[in-house]
């Protein structure tokens, strides 16, 4: 396919598969050195991640340049976002002795520094995403010593996220991971809780896809 056909195919998939309204949430696409550049604002982290997966699945491209942002739950200035993130790190016992370098530019968060484990890296990224003003989080934390990742590590991080999220009753949810794809099974009491649980899984660094099989029992 040529560039015009590739862009047309992606736009059609975004509207059909993700129900992204091209008027309400326009995603701008263009080819740049053989890669697809995606730019715009979406309602949820799941929409951002799934939109990227759709673009990556189109043959004829060399990659995807991600400039998609997630609509903030609350408008905040960069300094306010940074203060909230630093406060969250200080309040988290496992993180409060680690030196983080947090930069916020146009509500996009970049976290740098060195942490002792993948669980620390993932927790820091999760807390940054949970700040209501954050529109994207770049988790640049490095591990010392290096640690091999695994599906079990992902599952553990997702369950921790669900336990910490006050919008979700984690006791009736089971998470499992295979080849970096997280599956959520169980029961929740509202559509909002179902969406929140899926978003929590997507917030976890290293997750490639989320299969949400949660059932809503009112």
Residue 44, judged by CB atoms within 10 A of its CB (0-12, 13-18, 19+), counts as: middle
Q: Are strands 64-70 and 100-105 parallel, antiparallel or unpaired?
A: unpaired
Is pTM beyond 0.75? Reply is yes
Domains in the chain, please, with CATH?
A: 3-70 (3.30.1340.30), 78-143 (3.30.1340.30), 151-216 (3.30.1340.30)
The DSSP code for 117 is S
Tell me the residue ranges of DSSP E strands in 10-121: 27-32, 35-42, 64-70, 100-105, 108-115
Digit-coded pLDDT (tens) for 39-66: 999 999 999 999 999 999 988 888 999 9
pLDDT, tens only, 131-153: 999 999 999 999 999 999 999 99
pLDDT at 183: 98
- CA distance readout (Å), 210 to 40, 97, 100, 104, 180: 22, 32, 29, 27, 9
% of the chain at pLDDT higher than 90: 87
Task: Locate 14 and state its tokens.
Answer: 């975004």
Contact yes or no for 152/177 (Cβ under 8 A): yes
SS3 content of the chain, % helix, strand, coil (to 5): 40, 30, 35
pLDDT at 218 over 80: no
């Amino acid at each position: 396919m040529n560039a015009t056909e590739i862009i047309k195919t992606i736009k059609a998939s975004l509207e059909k598969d993700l129900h992204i309204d091209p008027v309400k949430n326009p995603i701008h696409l263009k080819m740049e050195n053989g890669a697809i550049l995606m730019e715009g604002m979406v309602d949820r982290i799941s929409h951002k991640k799934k939109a990227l997966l759709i673009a990556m699945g189109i043959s004829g491209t060399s990659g995807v340049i991600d400039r998609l942002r997630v609509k903030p739950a609350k408008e905040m200035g960069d300094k306010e976002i940074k203060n909230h993130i630093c406060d969250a790190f200080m309040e988290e016992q496992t993180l409060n002795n680690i030196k983080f370098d947090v930069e916020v530019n146009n509500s996009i968060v970049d976290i740098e520094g060195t942490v002792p484990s993948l669980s620390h890296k993932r927790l820091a990224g999760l807390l940054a995403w949970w700040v209501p003003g954050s529109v994207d989080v770049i988790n640049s934390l490095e591990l010392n010593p290096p640690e091999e990742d695994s599906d079990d590590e992902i599952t553990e991080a997702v369950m921790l996220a669900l336990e910490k999220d006050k919008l979700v009753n984690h006791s009736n949810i089971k998470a499992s991971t295979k080849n970096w794809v997280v599956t959520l099974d169980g029961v929740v009491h509202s559509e909002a809780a179902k969406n929140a649980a899926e978003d929590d899984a997507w917030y976890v660094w290293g997750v490639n896809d989320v299969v949400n099989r949660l059932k809503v029992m009112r």
